Amino acid sequence: MKDAWSARRYDENARFVSDLGRGVVEWLKPKPGERILDVGCGDGALTEQLVEAGADVLGVDASIDMVDAARARGLDIEVADCHELEYFNEFDAVFSNAALHWMTRPDAVLAGVANALKPGGRFVGEFGGHGNVAAIRTALSAVIKQHANISNAPDTVWFFPSAKEYQSRLEATGFTVERIALIPRPTPIPGEMTAWFETLAAPVLECVPTAKRTAIREEASALLRSVLCDSEGNWTADYVRLRFEARSSSKARCFV
């Protein structure tokens, strides 16, 4: 898939995503000297917090624009497809915020994470869970189908599992799940819903012709106005997050 991410647009329209990720950093509790892998690090806002806690952190992300923005913070970042992580027994912890729902082959990601961790290492993350942006997805799907006759566009790029499903996937990869929860989080967003679509649904809109994207954003936004926008013009996205803490096997294993 083409790199649809823009670090500039993300900073302007979606900074709340990393701001709200501080809770999952608290679950991680990074310790000085720990070696941590940040999977889907984006522009490095939370990676930076892990470094400030004294950890030795490597961030990975598939978006070159995001990687450039993270490197501009002075962070150690690599461009990588997180479905194909190539680390073995290197990290005390793996961390991820607001990224795993973009990885539609979750078992491949989990195998890579399990390989990357030292025996007994922890995997802590948060991402979109079952029901995440349900109204937004419904409106966007309906408008895309009307304009481009594509009925499954959002579902091809988003993975929003239930807690039960993700726990099963973790356990099948050898993890012990210490805690996992779906967290409803209605989230005020800056500006208009069209800006949310342009920034956070950009990979979805890559499947439709460029000439149709403005109309799709505007029509989907109009459908959602009565549901997600208040009388003063303030928008709230219907987020549901899945947060978890799991621990790898105490014995080294290799998943391929």
Residue appearing with tokens 């679950």: 27
How sure is the predictor about 29, in pLDDT bands with cuts at 50, 70 and 90? very high
194 versus 203: which is more confidently predicted?
194
Percent of the chain past pLDDT 90, that is, above it, reads: 76
| CATH number of the domain where residue 35 is located | 3.40.50.150
Predicted confidence (pLDDT) per residue in 241-250, tens digit: 999 999 998 6
Q: Is residue 203 part of a domain?
A: no
Predicted confidence (pLDDT) per residue in 88-122, tens digit: 999 999 999 999 999 999 999 999 999 999 999 99
Q: Is residue 122 part of a domain?
A: yes
Single pTM value for the model: 0.90
Number of domains in the chain: 1
Q: Is residue 63 part of a domain?
A: yes
Q: Which domain holds residue 70?
A: 7-132+158-188+239-247
Query: What does the pLDDT average to over 4-33?
Result: 76
Whether 3 shows a pLDDT value over 70: the answer reads no
Q: Is residue 216 part of a domain?
A: no
Percent of the chain past pLDDT 70, that is, above it, reads: 88
How sure is the predictor about 184, in pLDDT bands with cuts at 50, 70 and 90? very high
Predicted confidence (pLDDT) per residue in 34-66, tens digit: 999 999 999 999 999 999 999 999 999 999 988
Integer Cα distance of 201 and 136 in angstroms: 10
The two structure tokens encoding residue 186: 């209605």
Q: Is residue 151 part of a domain?
A: no
Integer Cα distance of 128 and 115 in angstroms: 24
DSSP class of residue 229 equals B
Q: Is residue 55 part of a domain?
A: yes
- Nearest to 219, CA basis, from 200, 199, 193, 249: 193
Among 21-35, 172-186, 207-221, top mean pLDDT goes to 172-186
Kind plus residue range of the DSSP H or E element containing 183: strand 176-189
**Going edge to edge, which strands form the sheet with 235-247?**
77-79, 56-61, 35-39, 91-97, 117-128, 235-247, 176-189
157 versus 150: which is more confidently predicted?
157
Q: Is residue 68 part of a domain?
A: yes
Q: Cα 208 from chain centroid?
A: 22
Q: Is residue 232 part of a domain?
A: no
